[in-house]
Amino acid sequence: MATENIYILGIESSCDDTAASVIHNGSILSNIVANQKIHEAYGGVVPELASRAHQQNIVPVVDQALKKANITKDQLHAIAFTRGPGLMGSLLVGTSFAKSLAYGLDIPLIDVNHMQGHILAHFINEEGFNKPPFPFLAMTISGGHTQIVKVDSHFNMTVIGETIDDAVGEAFDKSGKILGLGYPAGPEIDKRAKLGNPKAFKFTKPKVDGLNFSFSGLKTAILYFIQNETKANPHFIDENINDICASIQYTIIGILIDKLKMASKQTGIKHIAIGGGVSANSGIRQALKDGEKKFGWTTYIPKFEFTTDNAAMIAIVGYLKYLEGDFAQQNVAASARLKI
Ligand code: KG4
Ligand code: ZN
């Protein structure tokens, strides 16, 4: 088995982004993502439409990734794909495609856990970005997950806290829906929050034991707050949108940072990384940076393009597994609820 000059193709199709990336010895040669605009009209991802769109996108996306990397498929050493967690119909498209390609090229197939991908994206070689030393804490914050993970080595990870209901990305998206913002609302709330007063409105933080999170109560509190206010003033949302967004974001970030502080104290670990779509949020990025001065943390914040779903994070896990000879068999099955 070759150990030098390794080219890995990564394929990601767990939700509504079809993505492919080629990585060479841990450095990105290409990172292509096709977003599925079709879901915007429905205010959320429609699983059946997502799998159909993956089916249409996957060949051109993989083709583009190879072209951009300036290699042919015969130069690949392995195919890495997202096995789960995610939407079953979406996962099946990437899984079946990866299996067929690996079989056709007679090269190893590597299964990747999507959440490990969000964490191990920190191990992509990127100028100006340090890799976290072990052990470190990783907070994965996305539309589907909210977890605090203790990472002892590349493949030895323990979830020490997670949401008991909604994910933090859902808290952003569902709040945005109440406010009449488009889907996904996270980036829009972030943009408006920059123009508003974070202390204009106060939302109580949920009381959840230990390192676990809960966001469904916050969503309900926001709904009742908006219903009450708009009864008194029908233009309340329009007149206060920036302050409302800033206050919601401030509350959500407070919840995340409180738990991170607790996790750092309990474990004694001060190296803190974030990953997942919500780590694109400017407020959480700033709060983490502030944690360096306030709590003595060293923080690891991914490059913007590796925060939301992408295949570079799948390819890097593929590369790390390739070095360990950790391959999947052709009978490997996609798993919607795959655990770390
Ligand atoms: O990781 P990701 O692309 O997909 C999942 O695996 O879920 O995360 C998508 C989530 C969405 O909920 C979206 O609203 C949120 O990430 N998001 C943000 C921002 N950018 C994306 N939330 C807050 N602020 C942002 N700037
Ligand atoms: Zn994700």
Residue 217 covered by a domain: yes
Residues 165 and 257 in one domain: yes
pTM: 0.94
Q: Is residue 336 part of a domain?
A: no
pLDDT tier for residue 39 given thresholds of 50, 70 and 90: confident
Residue 1: its pLDDT value, please?
A: 67
pLDDT value at 2 more than 80: no
Is residue 131 assigned to a domain? no
122-175 pLDDT, tens per residue? 999 999 999 999 999 999 999 988 999 999 999 999 999 999 999 999 999 999
Cα 187 to averaged position of ligand 1 atoms, centre (Å): 7
Q: The domain spanning residue 245 has which CATH number?
A: 3.30.420.40
The whole domain housing 59 covers 7-123+307-324
Among protein residues, the one with the nearest Cα to ligand 1's atom 23 is 186
Q: Answer yes or no: is 82 within a domain.
A: yes
- Cα–Cα distance measured from residue 95 to residue 83, given in angstroms and rounded to the nearest whole number: 7
| C-alpha 77 to ligand 1 mean position (Å) | 32
Q: Is residue 272 part of a domain?
A: yes
Range scoring the smallest mean pLDDT among 28-42, 75-89, 96-110, 306-320: 28-42
pLDDT of residue 45: 83
Query: What's the mean per-residue pLDDT of the chain?
Result: 96
Q: Are residues 44 and 76 in the same domain?
A: yes
Residues 149 and 283 in one domain: yes
Instruction: Please check whether residues 260 and 297 belong to one and the same domain.
Output: yes
In a domain, 335, yes or no: no
One domain, residues 141 and 259: yes
* CA-only gyration radius of the chain, Å: 20
Percent of the chain's residues with pLDDT above 90: 92
- HEC profile of the chain: CCCCCCEEEEEECCCCEEEEEEEECCEEEEEEEEECHHHHHHCCCCHHHHHHHHHHHHHHHHHHHHHHHCCCHHHCCEEEEEEECCCHHHHHHHHHHHHHHHHHHCCCEEEEEHHHHHHHHHHCECCCCCCCCCCEEEEEECCCCEEEEEEEECCEEEEEEEECCCCHHHHHHHHHHHCCCCCCCHHHHHHHHCCCCCCCCCCCCCCCCCCCECCHHHHHHHHHHHHHHHHHCCCHHHHHHHHHHHHHHHHHHHHHHHHHHHHHHHHCCCEEEEECHHHHCHHHHHHHHHHHHHHCCEEECCCHHHCCCCCHHHHHHHHHHHHHCCCECCCCCCCCCCCC
Digit-coded pLDDT (tens) for 287-340: 999 999 999 999 999 999 999 999 999 999 999 999 999 999 999 999 999 998
> Does residue 317 sit in the same domain as residue 292?
no
If asked whether residues 164 and 290 sit together in one domain, one would say yes
Q: Which atom of ligand 1 is nearest to the CA of 307?
A: 1
Same domain, 66 and 118: yes
- Residue ranges for the known binding site are 114, 118, 140-144, 173, 186, 190, 281, 309
Read off the pLDDT of residues 235-250 as tens digits, 9 standing for 90 and up. Answer: 999 999 999 999 999 9
Residue 89 has pLDDT above 80, yes or no: yes
According to the model, what pLDDT value does residue 126 have?
95
pLDDT one-digit tens code per residue, 215-271? 999 999 999 999 999 999 999 999 999 999 999 999 999 999 999 999 999 999 999
- 281 with 311, same domain: the answer is no
Within a domain: residue 50? yes
* Domains in the chain, number: 2
How many angstroms separate the alpha carbon of residue 143 from the centre of ligand 1?
Answer: 5
**265 and 248 fall within a common domain:** yes
Residue 32 has pLDDT above 70, yes or no: yes
Q: Do both 175 and 270 map to the same domain?
A: yes
Residue list, annotated binding site for Fe cation: 114, 118, 309
Residues 69, 196 within the same domain: no
On whether residue 277 sits in a domain, the answer given is: yes
Q: What is the predicted pLDDT for the residue at 318?
A: 98
